[in-house]
Structure formats: structure tokens, C-alpha cells
Amino acid sequence: MGTVASHGRFAHAGEAFKQLVFGSANVPQQCVVGMSDPQSEISVALRGRDTTLDVTNNNVIAAARPLTLGIGLNPESHRETIRDRQPWLTFREMTGERRLLAEIKLCMVDTLPLGEEQLCLYTARSCRNFCVPRGRLWMRYLYDGYRQLWSEMRSRTPTLRMPVRELHCVFAFYICPRPVVLVSVVDGNLGNIFPMDLIGPVGTQHFTLALHNDSPALPLMVRSRRIALSNVPVSYSAVAFELGKNHKKASVDWGALPFATKTSTSFGLPVPQFASRVRDMQIETVRTLGSHTLFVARTIEDHGWAEGLQLFQIHGFYQAWRQQLQQPHLTSS
Ligand SMILES: Cc1cc2nc3c(=O)[nH]c(=O)nc-3n(C[C@H](O)[C@H](O)[C@H](O)COP(=O)(O)O)c2cc1C
């Protein structure tokens, strides 16, 4: 009991120290928030030397290692934008003062056909994040770097380390709220359902999903080419995160899932009864990009079942920014 109490005291002192040093940067990396879909807090723009293009609903992570971002562009109407090989992405408040919260510098490395359009693939070169004061931001970066190194030294299994520079770009990327969906796939007797957030619309008619190359569900998606995406009401966040373990399974027993299922309208795939929106998607292209396999899909049927707040993820730095807006009397320096 005494040990627990003193451990609690040390933990409390440690937390107080972190709060003192990091201030508004003392945040978890990933935060769950409930929002209407699509999100309406952050606008994202692709900026070049002479062009600026709104890509709020047209920017995705296509691979984690190397960190590769995808944006769908039209070779006719976006010729100037495509020509610019080193543009940058900006993240701004969508309303109010429209303050700049972050920017990520990009370098175009490849393109993929997207029907009449192109998926332009960019690696992330560097970023700037303005959600928390600079000093606090760097204290936090140093602390996270130290923790990553420490856990790698103690880990017996080799980890696929993301360079710190790229990790900071991911933090900036998650200033724009990203939805988490459940992906259902069936191939013959095998099927699976798992959460994904490296997803999103690209261009005017396509959608991409990035799944790590060693996922046992990957062959199911490659063979069947049919998936159903279920939106998750925020009240079912815990259920969705629990299904993260299915990323390591080749197949699941649909009858043993902790929720009732219904079937998707076009492909008849099992989806949660609680799904607020279900999209049947046909996979058109599969491409390995570094650590991940990118699936380019087209929506065949889009069925909205319910309104309400959906499960989104944001980075803790942006959550700190939001909290500060709600409580302006709290100083953030
Ligand atoms: C909410 C959520 C979203 C995820 N999204 C993706 C994704 O888009 N692509 C992917 O390859 N893996 C995704 N994963 C899988 C995780 O990266 C991880 O491989 C899996 O949860 C197993 O984690 P563990 O090794 O800590 O047990 C997601 C997991 C969770 C919980």
C-alpha cells in the first residue's frame, strides 16, 4: 500500500515536473475527438511558388517509411501546381483569424494514375509547428526522442524507426483531424475487420488506404479487391481501438465480434450495426510504397445510416491549441 502511495507521489511529482517544463506541450501524441464528418476546423492548402490550392479534402499519408503524402491533381487544370517539385502544405484554422498552425515542406517523388487525374506523391522534408510555443515544442521533441531511443534500446524486437524529422511532420499532419474507419474485407472463407486512419479521398473520385506490408489482411484485400468502410460514432471509439489487434490476424470469426453486424448494400460485406456511414469500395490499383501498400479505390455505394459525432484523431499539440482557445485565460508560454 505504502509502495503504491509513494509510487503515486513520485508519479504525481513527475507529472507536475513535465507540466512545468512542457507547459502546453505536455500532451499525449494521439487524441480522440468527436466531430461531424467531414471535419470543419482545419483547412489544408498546397502552396507553390506561384500557386495555392485548397486540398483540405485531398491529402493523405500514402506510406509511413519514408513518410510519403499523396494529393490528387488534374494534369490539365493543375499544371502549374504539378510542375512545382518542392511545394509545401499549410494547415490553418478554417474560421476566425485563420491562423497558420503548421507547414510541411514537400518533395515530389512519383505520380500514380487516378483515372483522368494523377496521384502526386511527395516525401516530407521538414515542418514547422506553431500550435505550442517554440521553446516548449523543442523541449517536447527532445523528450520524445529520448523516450524513443530508450524504448528501442530495451526492446528485443527490431523496430522500424521513423526518423525524428518525419515524426514531427506526422505531428503536423495530424493537426488536421483524421477520421478512423473500420475496414471489412472477405475473400472466400477468410475475412477481417480492422481500424484504419491512413485513409482519405484524393482527387475528385478516388480514395486511398495505406496498409503496412506485413499485415495478414493485405492478401485478402489484394485478392478480393472489395472492401466496406464503416464510419465509427465517437461513442464506439473503444470498440474500434480494440479491433486494432485484428491487424495481426489473418482472419476473424464474425460471430465472435463484440457487436452485431449488418451487411453493406452493394458487396454484402459484414459491417457493424453501429456504423453511421458505410461505403462499398472497389480497389482499382495496388502499389507497394516503402513500408506500406497503397490501395487506390473508387466508391461504388455510399450509405449514410445516422448523423452525429464521428471518431477522429488529432495530435496532442493541436489539442493543446484547441483547449487554449476554449480557456483563453490559460497562458501557454
Ligand atoms: C485506430 C487505429 C488505426 C490504425 N490505422 C492503420 C492504418 O491506417 N494502416 C496500417 O497499416 N495500420 C493501422 N493500424 C494498425 C497499427 O499501426 C498496429 O499495427 C496495430 O494496431 C497493432 O499494434 P501493436 O503492434 O501495438 O499490437 C491502426 C490501428 C489502430 C488502433
User: What percentage of residues in the chain have a pLDDT greater than 90?
Assistant: 76
All three cell numbers of 136, joined, read 516548449
Cα 139 to middle of ligand 1, angstroms: 28
SS3 71: strand
Distance CA 201, CA 158 (A): 33
Q: Whose CA is nearest to atom 6 of ligand 1?
A: 196
pLDDT classification of 332: cutoffs 50, 70, 90: very low
Domain boundaries, the chain: 178-313
Cα separation values, 181 from 37, 51, 243, 244, Å:
12, 33, 11, 11
Q: Inform me whether the pLDDT recorded for 157 exceeds 60.
A: no
Q: Whose CA is nearest to atom 4 of ligand 1?
A: 196
| Total-model pTM | 0.89
**Residue of 60, 173, 247 to test ligand 1 pocket, by largest number of atoms within 8 Å of CB:** 247
pLDDT classification of 6: cutoffs 50, 70, 90: very low
- Ligand 1 binding pocket (C-beta < 6 A) is 180, 195-198, 210-212, 215, 241, 244, 247-248
CATH of 178-313, picked from 3.40.1160.10, 2.60.40.420, 2.40.10.10, 2.30.110.10, is: 2.30.110.10
Q: Inform me whether the pLDDT recorded for 151 exceeds 80.
A: no
The winner for highest mean pLDDT among 106-110, 160-164, 167-171 is: 106-110
Q: Whose CA is nearest to atom 27 of ligand 1?
A: 245
pLDDT value for 1:
30
All three cell numbers of 16, joined, read 507536475
Q: Which atom of ligand 1 is nearest to the CA of 212?
A: 11
Q: Averaged over 154-158, what is the pLDDT? A: 58
Cα 245 to middle of ligand 1, angstroms: 8
φ and ψ at residue 242, rounded to 5 degrees: -60, -35
Distance CA 89, CA 69 (A): 10
pLDDT per position as a tens digit, 199-254: 999 999 999 999 999 999 999 999 999 999 999 999 999 999 999 999 999 999 99
Q: Whose CA is nearest to atom 29 of ligand 1?
A: 244
pLDDT value for 326:
79
Cα separation values, 89 from 40, 52, 59, 82, 194, Å:
17, 10, 9, 14, 29
Q: Which atom of ligand 1 is nearest to the CA of 241?
A: 31
pLDDT per position as a tens digit, 163-195: 889 999 999 999 999 999 999 999 999 999 999
pLDDT classification of 156: cutoffs 50, 70, 90: low
Distance CA 12, CA 106 (A): 41
All three cell numbers of 51, joined, read 500557386
Q: Inform me whether the pLDDT recorded for 136 exceeds 90.
A: no
Q: Which atom of ligand 1 is nearest to the CA of 240?
A: 1
